[in-house]
Structure 1
Amino acid sequence: MTDWTRTVLVGVDGSEGAAEAVRWAARLASGRDLGLELVHCLQLAGLLRGGELARSAELFEGIRRDGERIAAEARELALSVDASLDVCSEALTDSAPALLIARSYAARMVVLGRTGIGGFAGMLVGATTAAVVGHAGCPVAVVRGRHGDGLVPQDGPVVVGVDGSACSDAVIEAAFEEAGFRQVPLLAVHAWIDVVYDSAESSARLMPQWESLQPAEERLLAQRLAGWQEKYPDVEVRRKLVRDRPRHVLLDKSSRAQLLVVGSRGRGGFAGMLMGSTSQAMVHHASCPVLVVRESRR
């Protein structure tokens, strides 16, 4: 039986964005000795409308064959990255969001492409990404490339957005894990111009004298990172404390990073992270893959 907790789950649909996601996920699975699960959801909406049953059966058979072809090609692509990978590919009739969310609770990570067609149509602008990012039981990676050439970067640091939310520890842990795996520096960004905390750790909401608040914000960032630096002593940590909106800073840093790690929810500078202003900006506009981590991350 497949050990799903050691499986990377990838949604595929035949698009170039999905192909980049398969390559990215295959490299990750290869480096960590993980299995790869590739799933394609058949586009069956409207199949029975305005047609006879026999015609619908013929159309379904064509859609099924096309789906199996897409799944098989995705498997071949993954094996071209590492022929020794344990890869399983399927073409299913389930709803794409429902299937990915259900299987995510037994997966190490879900990986999606930057764009989609077929079963994943409108992946980055519709309900599918919002549903998966908002409800998955494991981290969700949206594989994006550099603006201009579209190439997915494989160099540069891992960048993480640090705030004071309950999700912060899970986000930082994931960022250290990714930086350690890639053997690259970790850039921890704390943007505090519009910080709004519910705790006493920051009073930025009440005081406009930014310079007087900077030492407290520096201590907050240091405290958030301290325990994880001890756990991952080989990871070089760089800190960036800025008076700016988080989305501005993180989008800028993504242009020189190989991975951007953010939380699915946040407080203060990361308020509304459940596909809200900051996380939505990252998923839509970042210049590198984005890893979205939920508080319930295993």
Structure 2
Amino acid sequence: MADNQTSEVADPQAIVVGVDGSNASRNALRFAIGEAKALGRSIRVVGAYTVPSVAAATIDVSYVPIDDSAVRSSVTTVLKEAAAEVKAADVPVEAIIEIGDAAGVLVEESKQASLTVVGSRGKGGFAGRLLGTVSSALPAHSACPTIVVPVGWEPGVTGEARPSSSRPVHSSADGPIERSEETDTVPGIDYTGQVVVGVDSLGRESPALWEAAHIAMRRNSPLHIQAVITTTVIGPEWIPSQGDLERLIQEGTDKLEAARAAIVEEHPDLEVRWTLFDGQPAEVLVRASDTCAILVIGSRGRGGFAGLLLGSTSQSVLPYSAAPTMVVRVKR
């Protein structure tokens, strides 16, 4: 069991997994084992904890350190169990205990990793009895892509496509999609077996797009690219005309088709589809997560996620995503 006494690690391209003994972190570990096998990587399981202190009530401020042996022993037990599970899967493993805020610890570990994986409890944020809250800091600041695995995720189990208030307006398969009737919701789309990626104004230049393509190629899965425009009138400042709507749809369509063409040129054997939606970006991505194999989104850092006329959706997507969700850093 290694301590953080040195910056050296056994494998600088390992998959880092934050563990704390919760069901969410166990799910993250299971997912990471599958990725490690597919990529031929090792796993570095990391447990982090903070040392509490008590302020003494004296004239001169002082601090009474608290014995951390019980906490450390608990973390050690969790790490040993996690390492044993990885070894049983015949994957090389390294286990590290570090003292400090879990988000900061995992960000540092990500500097010597190819991927970081953490678990999510779902509604309400990330798992963290010992890990702490990493919902904003890790995905936004990790030096490598981060995958968040929902606590309810099970390998090979596909959810049900649920209705959405965000409507598809154009797709590579169906062309322009007419709005047949005015209803509050439309049937959900089934993305079973597909890798879904959300792209923003970067289009074909989006790092998330290319990361998703690599995942799809490795898994031999279709890639589905999504983008969203928002035509909802929220005030008198801008009331879109029919010409405005047509222009927005055409611009979104052009970016998506250019992205698809770029991916197909690089990976001619990969099946690539795209859909343009009118609605709310977070809802589109969360509904895709109901059935897709992996959801991939981009982050510009400091907590904000990029989107095609979308704004920040980080706090709306990650806590509710039903599929393992990869967050890829996008340089500002």
TM-score interval, smaller chain: 0.7 to 0.9
The letter for the 1-side match of 2:311 is A
**How far apart are the structure 1 equivalents of 2:20 and 2:27?**
11
Q: Counterpart of 2:46? A: 39
Kindly tell me: are residues 194 and 212 of structure 1, through their superposed partners in 2, closer, same or farther at Cα, counting changes over 3 Å? closer
- Tell me if 1:151 matches 2:143: no
Contact 2:199 2:308 in 1 (8 A): no
1:69 is paired with a residue whose SS is: helix
Task: Select which of 56, 68, 74 maps to 2:76.
Answer: 68
**How far apart are the structure 2 equivalents of 1:193 and 1:54?**
55
Task: Select which of 86, 103, 112 maps to 1:78.
Answer: 86
- Tell me if 1:270 matches 2:270: no
Map 1:123-272 → 2, pairs under 5 A: 123=133, 128-144=134-150, 150-154=152-156, 156-165=193-202, 169-193=206-230, 209=243, 210-265=245-300, 266-272=306-312
Q: Counterpart of 2:108? A: 102
Give, in angstroms, the shift of residue 176 of structure 1.
0.4
Structure 2 residues not aligned, in runs of 5+:
1-8, 57-62, 122-126, 159-192, 233-237, 301-305
Structure 1 residues 212-221 or 170-179, which shifts more?
A: 212-221
Q: If the length of structure 2 is used for normalisation, what is the TM-score?
A: 0.73
Contact 1:143 1:152 in 2 (8 A): no
RMSD: 2.8
Identical columns (%): 26
Q: Number of residues paired by the alignment? A: 268
Give 1 or 2: higher helix fraction. 1
**How far apart are the structure 1 equivalents of 2:111 and 2:331?**
10
Task: Select which of 11, 19, 22 maps to 2:18.
Answer: 11
The Cα offsets for residues 82-115 of structure 1, whole Å up to 9 and x where unpaired, read as 22x1100122213211211112122111111113
The letter for the 1-side match of 2:255 is L
Structure with higher Rg: it is 2
The letter for the 2-side match of 1:151 is W
The Cα offsets for residues 173-230 of structure 1, whole Å up to 9 and x where unpaired, read as 11101111111111111111259xxxxxxxx997654235433321111112322222
Give, in angstroms, the shift of residue 153 of structure 1.
4.4
Q: Counterpart of 1:28? A: 35
Give, in angstroms, the shift of residue 167 of structure 1.
9.5
Q: Counterpart of 2:128? A: 117
Give, in angstroms, the shift of residue 131 of structure 1.
1.0
The letter for the 2-side match of 1:286 is S
The letter for the 2-side match of 1:17 is A
Kindly tell me: are residues 139 and 55 of structure 1, through their superposed partners in 2, closer, same or farther at Cα, counting changes over 3 Å? closer
The Cα offsets for residues 26-81 of structure 1, whole Å up to 9 and x where unpaired, read as 110111101111000124234x467xx99933xx211111111011111122233x
